[in-house]
Amino acid sequence: MRLVALDEGADAAGLKRGQGLAEARAICPALIVSEEDKAADRRFHEALADWCDRYTPLVALEGDDGLFLDITGSAHLFGGEEALLQEMLTRLLEMGLQVQGAISKAPGLSSALARYAGNRIVADEDCETAIAPLPLSALRIEESLVRALNKLGLKQVGDLLGAPRAPLARRFGSHLLMRLDQALGLDEEAISPRRPVASLSAERRLAEPVQAEEDILMLAGQVAEALKPSLEARGAGGRVFELVLFRVDGKVFRISAGASRPLRDAGRIARLFQERLKGLHDELDAGFGFEILRLNVLRHEDFDTEQGDFEGDDRRHLSLGDFVDQVSARLGPDCLQTYQLRESHIPERAVLPVAALDHLSAAIAVKPSRMPEAAPLQAVGSDSRERPLRLFTHPEPLEAFAVEVPDGPPIRFRWRRLTHQVRRAEGPERLAAEWWLDGETAPTRDYFRLESENGQRFWVYRQGLYDQLANPRWFMHGVFA
């Protein structure tokens, strides 16, 4: 058992990270410890990153206890860099957190200063002066490399600044010089935001927190109205929206809603979230209220302006879109599905189920399958290619008794513990296997339409021919109305 984190009291008592628990208790008998919970620490780290979204959408995790914020273009909204840093540190302190922060032109330098030099803002021309007195561990290099450099008398970053680079690279590798250049801002270091950056965004900061659902929807409509000019300038409409609610105590709620067609109308956008809030029920805990409300456009598409009919509007099309939007927002995007045709003559592969939200929009981008052009269906013994109303996703095995072999239909079969006597039959309709997917040895299917004595109609097939298999299997693939 070793110490992995310390508070101010333990640090003042002389305890160190990595120290054994028995040794620590000998130094400080009144020590109170709790077991590390990495999953809980990770959730708290991510929740803190969510809270920082109020300052910039470009937030990245750094290790297990740090955050990178790219505040380029957003510092002026808070009165400058110094005011932004002070507000952030003050609010986190009020939440009971001990944090340190730094602002500079390089992520590596900001990380080093925040961890080893306290709260600072460094100008571009003062990078070397700021980082020179810091220990080598501030460069984010391995501890073994730090010890090896210390043995040579190199203990501070300033000791590396004047040293020849070639011998350092030859002895310790290029990683050391890369970290040094990143800390000095000479080598660019990309920050990868933990969440996709919205193409468009608008927010409202409230003087008084709101709690009621009606107030949230009213503000969502106002913010959506503010997004309309930007969407019109792009000639686009939003397809996927995200409503972000920042609660007073720091918790952040994200609510997503999609539309079947590109939207600009603020009223329709607000109605999407009205249905989403109904679906959430008690999951949205307003607590003491929300202080910031933000609306993001996560996905947008070209907005096609269509002329309505002589009655003034295409009401039927709009009503269908509204219905799909509201039901999908209430019950989830996959609650309504439709089908997209595919290039395959195998029945279960001929259509692909897709969400109605996507199908009602523009053409769906589907990766083409790597196979030759599918041949047209050719039925043997019948020109009809009628398909059942209900097609099973997975064909169900059945026991069949056939008299006319090799191509005859069954005269009796047992399916789901019931025996059916066949009165009429049509077929076979022979479908060869797709050898480019199933292999060259995949069996052929012979499909039959059967009608039982009580009037039920079934679609069954025999997998394999009698000259290919000694005992072909029979399957139920669908039922007719």
**Per-residue model confidence (pLDDT) at position 371:** 36
**Per-residue model confidence (pLDDT) at position 289:** 92
CA 292 to chain centroid, in Å, comes to 23
pLDDT (tens digit per residue) in 173-230 = 999 999 999 999 888 888 889 888 888 999 999 999 999 989 999 999 999 999 999 9
What's the CA gap between 376 and 439, in Å, rounded?
Answer: 20
Pairing of strands 351-355, 337-341: antiparallel
Confidence (pTM) = 0.69
Q: Calculate the dihedral angle through the C-alpha atoms of 373, 379, 384, 390, rounding to the nearest 10 degrees.
A: -70
Q: Is the pLDDT of residue 364 over 60?
A: no
Q: Is the pLDDT of residue 275 over 60?
A: yes
Q: Where exactly does CATH 3.40.1170 map onto the chain?
A: 1-36
> 144, 164 in Cβ contact below 8 A?
no
On average, the pLDDT of the chain sits at 85
pLDDT confidence tier of residue 363, bands split at 50, 70 and 90: very low
Check whether the bond before 406 is cis (ω within 30° of 0): yes
Phi and psi, residue 370, nearest 5° = -85, 85
pLDDT (tens digit per residue) in 401-427 = 887 878 889 999 999 999 999 999 998
The domain made up of 200-330 has a fold known as Dna Ligase; domain 1 (3.30.1490)
| Residue 88: closest CA among 73, 106, 74 | 74
pLDDT confidence tier of residue 377, bands split at 50, 70 and 90: very low
Range 135-153 average pLDDT: 92
Pairing of strands 445-452, 290-302: unpaired
Q: Is the pLDDT of residue 66 over 50?
A: yes
Range 87-106 average pLDDT: 92
**Sequence-separated (6 or more) residues with CB below 8 Å from residue 404:** none
**Per-residue model confidence (pLDDT) at position 303:** 84
> 458, 476 in Cβ contact below 8 A?
yes
CB-side neighbour CA atoms (13 Å) of 64: 9
**Per-residue model confidence (pLDDT) at position 373:** 38
Among 55-64, 124-133, 257-266, 300-309, which is the least confidently predicted range? 300-309
CATH number for region 1-36: 3.40.1170
Tell me how far CA of residue 82 lies from CA of 75, 101, 423, in angstroms. Answer: 9, 11, 87
Q: Give, as one character, the DSSP assignment of residue 228.
A: H
What's the CA gap between 19 and 33, in Å, rounded?
Answer: 13
CATH number for region 37-184: 1.10.150.20
Q: Is the pLDDT of residue 362 over 50?
A: no
**Per-residue model confidence (pLDDT) at position 369:** 37
- Give the pair of three-digit tokens for residue 404: 């006319």
pLDDT (tens digit per residue) in 284-328 = 888 889 999 999 999 898 887 665 555 554 455 557 777 887 787
**Per-residue model confidence (pLDDT) at position 367:** 37
In the chain, what percentage of residues exceed pLDDT 90?
A: 49
Q: Where exactly does CATH 3.30.1490.100 map onto the chain?
A: 200-330
Q: Give, as one character, the DSSP assignment of residue 339.
A: E
pLDDT confidence tier of residue 98, bands split at 50, 70 and 90: confident
Range 25-43 average pLDDT: 90
Pairing of strands 445-452, 337-341: unpaired
Range 156-176 average pLDDT: 91
Range 459-467 average pLDDT: 88
**Per-residue model confidence (pLDDT) at position 311:** 54
Q: Is the pLDDT of residue 372 over 70?
A: no
Residue scoring higher pLDDT (421 or 384)? 421
- Give the pair of three-digit tokens for residue 402: 């056939």
